[in-house]
Chain A
Amino acid sequence: MQLIVNGLIAGSLAALMAGGLALVYGVLGVFNLALGQLSLIGGMTAWWLHGPMELPLLPSILGGIFVGGIVTWITFECTVAPFYRRDRFLPLVTTIAWSMILDAFILLVFQEYPRSILTNEKHFLDLGTVRFSLEQLALVLVTFIFISAVAWMLHSTSFGRKIRATVQHADAARSLGISSSFLHRVVFIASGVLAACGGIYMGIDQNLTPTIAFPITIKAYAAVIAGGKDNFWGTILAAYLIAMIEQFAVGAPWFFGAYIPVGYQQTVALVFIIVILLIKPSGLFSRQLRTT
């Protein structure tokens, strides 16, 4: 039971990161490999505002989201917009380069120490077989609210319908008058805002170090690829599934009671992608839950 709860907590974080990426891939057809760094910038900004600047938690969180959004917008204008219409694989290279620049910036400004947004004692709930903090419960609920809000936006608003139309047939959407450049900017920035929320989530639940950016990106892409690339719901499900598998891989006994060392937890996502791609190259949910 504890493993399921842990999977739910880790899955919520991954879903937050990967959901935005799935929309970006669906609408723009590009991969943003600086996602982990954007998430760290959101988290680190919230830490700086709440810690050294001693602002209350809520304005610090909003500040982290705002800065994350601004840096994502700069990312789009500098490393995606000039290239993706020429070749959608070019941003793969430019966002890697940008991620290295951001890595160096984060290391310079925040240094290589673990940073935790909440330094005081967390409040734990002990339900016998399951133990979790109130902060974790809040984070899972906030993710649920975010995902529900995105679902409502996609299915019940004019803007959401335009996103879905663009994902399903970009040329037909443009020929109806749906302006792709505005839509692309909004979706890209929204994915960065979700990533920043993920970074803040991590900073509250655990701590932030500059070295975790790349594993964050990999894990989010594992969910996007396994979920069917441009399939928002498939990605959300895959994010939770991968988190559960990770928890069970290192938390449950295998082979005559032996445990897989915790250090291998990160590799589980990669093995999962390889296995999924071998069995179903188009992604786990590509047929059942096509697109958004």
Chain B
Amino acid sequence: MPLLSVSHLSLTLNAQQILKNVTFDVDQGEVVGLIGPNGSGKTTLFNVLSGFLKPTHGTVHLREADITHVSPAQRAKLGIGRVFQNFGIFREMTLEENVLVALEALPKEQRMLLGDLREVVRGTLDMVGLSHQGKKKAGSLSGGQMRLLEIARTLKSGKELFLLDEPTAGVSPKMTKQVADLIAELKKEGKTVLIIEHDLPFISRICDRVLVLDVGEVVLNGKPGEIKHDKKLQEIYFGADPTA
């Protein structure tokens, strides 16, 4: 049984078809990369999966339950966590508050299992080496640190499926490695990750499978090694070879 099942998903916005018959499954514990040129519909697909947009046609199932019309907050309670391209952190709140508010948003039963929330907050910040900055405002962090904070916060708030939108965008090479390590940590813990990236070597390193989206359609679906040399991928990124 796949954890996430996307079936014949289409979305039309302002008379323009953004997603066309998108169908794919993601198994528990898989790390799946979602690549494609700008405007191919990757972030829109994430918006549909996290409930911010309703599809025109098609369904989204999480553990066989139909969540197509479930709100973003409800999806979060069901275990879907989103890391935003434009940093989904609360810049005027301290690092501790950023983690605490995520824990406080959990359903009561889940929250009770965590024990002392302040301890969990400390542990979360420790995990990404930011515990010494806990009282600082999150807006004072570097791009990479913000990204680490956001991923760690999502991880500790008990999510099962992670939607990571360009986690290495605007992040230094050193921090990119830390982000990759954190994603490896997610995989080790049996979490499922769907990740949008433009950095193909990064995707090849960390993903079990890659989906290639072009003009709103899934055009390739396979292991990174298999699709890396696919002619279609070359065409999408570099255009058709005129000598061919």
Contact check, A174 vs B89: say whether CB atoms are below 8 A apart: no
Interface residues on B, range: 20 to 34
Contact check, A169 vs B101: say whether CB atoms are below 8 A apart: no
In B95-111, the 8 Å CB interface with A consists of 97, 100-102, 104-107
B73, B77, B81, B84, most chain A CB atoms within 10 A:
B73
Given A175-B72, A176-B157, A177-B105, A161 contacting B88 (CB threshold 8 A): no
Measured CA separation A168–B88 after assembly (Å): 9
Contact check, A174 vs B72: say whether CB atoms are below 8 A apart: yes
Other-chain contact of A168, B75, B92, B104, B153 (Cβ < 8 Å) = B92
A162, A164, A175, A291, most chain B CB atoms within 10 A:
A175
Measured between C-beta atoms, what is the minimum distance from B24 to chain A in Å?
21
Select from chain B the residue with minimum beta-carbon distance to A183. B73
Measured between C-beta atoms, what is the minimum distance from B11 to chain A in Å?
17
Contact check, B84 vs A171: say whether CB atoms are below 8 A apart: yes
Given A161-B101, A175-B81, A175-B82, A169 contacting B73 (CB threshold 8 A): no
Instruction: List residues of chain B with CB within 8 A of the CB of A290.
Output: 91-92
Contact check, B101 vs A165: say whether CB atoms are below 8 A apart: yes
Contact check, A172 vs B81: say whether CB atoms are below 8 A apart: no
Given A175-B50, A177-B105, A164 contacting B92 (CB threshold 8 A): yes
Contact check, B73 vs A179: say whether CB atoms are below 8 A apart: yes
Instruction: List residues of chain B with CB within 8 A of the CB of A172.
Output: 82, 84, 88-90
B93 is an interface residue with CB less than 8 A from chain A: yes
Interface of A is mostly: helix
Instruction: List residues of chain A with CB within 8 A of the CB of B101.
Output: 158, 161-162, 164-165, 173, 176, 178
Contact check, B104 vs A162: say whether CB atoms are below 8 A apart: yes
Contact check, A171 vs B52: say whether CB atoms are below 8 A apart: yes
Measured between C-beta atoms, what is the minimum distance from A24 to chain B in Å?
18
Measured CA separation A84–B100 after assembly (Å): 29
Measured CA separation A291–B90 after assembly (Å): 11
Given A161-B101, A177-B77, A177-B105, A168 contacting B93 (CB threshold 8 A): yes
In A144-195, the 8 Å CB interface with B consists of 158, 161-162, 164-165, 168-169, 171-180
Measured CA separation A292–B90 after assembly (Å): 11
Other-chain contact of A176, B52, B71, B92, B105 (Cβ < 8 Å) = B105
Select from chain B the residue with minimum beta-carbon distance to A180. B73
B80, B84, B89, B104, most chain A CB atoms within 10 A:
B104
B76 is an interface residue with CB less than 8 A from chain A: yes
B76, B97, B100, most chain A CB atoms within 10 A:
B76
Measured CA separation A6–B81 after assembly (Å): 52
Measured CA separation A175–B154 after assembly (Å): 10
In A215-247, the 8 Å CB interface with B consists of none
Point out residues on B near A: beta carbons under 8 Å.
50, 52, 71-77, 80-82, 84, 88-93, 97, 100-102, 104-107, 153-154, 157
9 extra A-B contacts, CB within 8 A, seeds A164-B97, A177-B105, A179-B73: A161-B97, A162-B101, A169-B84, A172-B90, A174-B76, A175-B88, A176-B101, A176-B105, A290-B91
